[in-house]
Structure 1
Amino acid sequence: MGYYPKPSSPRALIADIRAFAQQRSAVQWGALATAIIMPTAIIILFIIDGDTNIRPGPKIIYAESWSAERTDAEIIADQKRDQARREAAIKERQQQFKRLEQKMEKLGI
């Protein structure tokens, strides 16, 4: 059988830590504290920042339901109506940008 060392007592452990600590200067203790605190703080800040206002909110998508017996003419009429809505929205957006541009020109920007 192999030789296993005898486990040390808590007193021996405390004495060993004291002897180790007495050999260190205040600068080394400050560097140790900095080396432990800085990465810990960075990790904690990343965890906190990961939960603050960066996730998009839930997006609800509504699907229309049509009857199975729709004719091609009805489908085309719906598509034309949707296209007209899209074009109206685009024109309205363009008008908004034109009004904004006119306001900015008045301000000299």
Structure 2
Amino acid sequence: MKFLQYLSPKQAFRDVKSYVTTRRPHQLGFMGVALALTYVMIMGVIYESRIPPKPYHRDIIYVQNWRLDRTDAQIIAQQKIDSAEKAKQDAELKRLQDERKAQFKKVNDGLKAWGI
């Protein structure tokens, strides 16, 4: 572990100080801008990578039990009820998809306006 004896915060500070004092002013400016941009990019990635916690929602699916001696008329009647429910769900899904398409179209039109 002789390597650790050469590590010293004082020596590191002196090293940085000697490096900074031998540089020209414009080099220090570019170094500051590069450090600031790097910091902003890393902080942006950290901020955007946070996933908001979702509250736990118990999703219980109940299974319907059907009698074995149902008539065809009862089956057809239940299918009509189920098809109306499915049509309503499909219409809601279509509405949500159209809203999402409109949002992407708005973003795309904005990008086209900028020439991208």
TM-score by length of 1: 0.47
**TM-score normalised by the chain length of structure 2:** 0.45
Higher share of residues assigned helix: 2
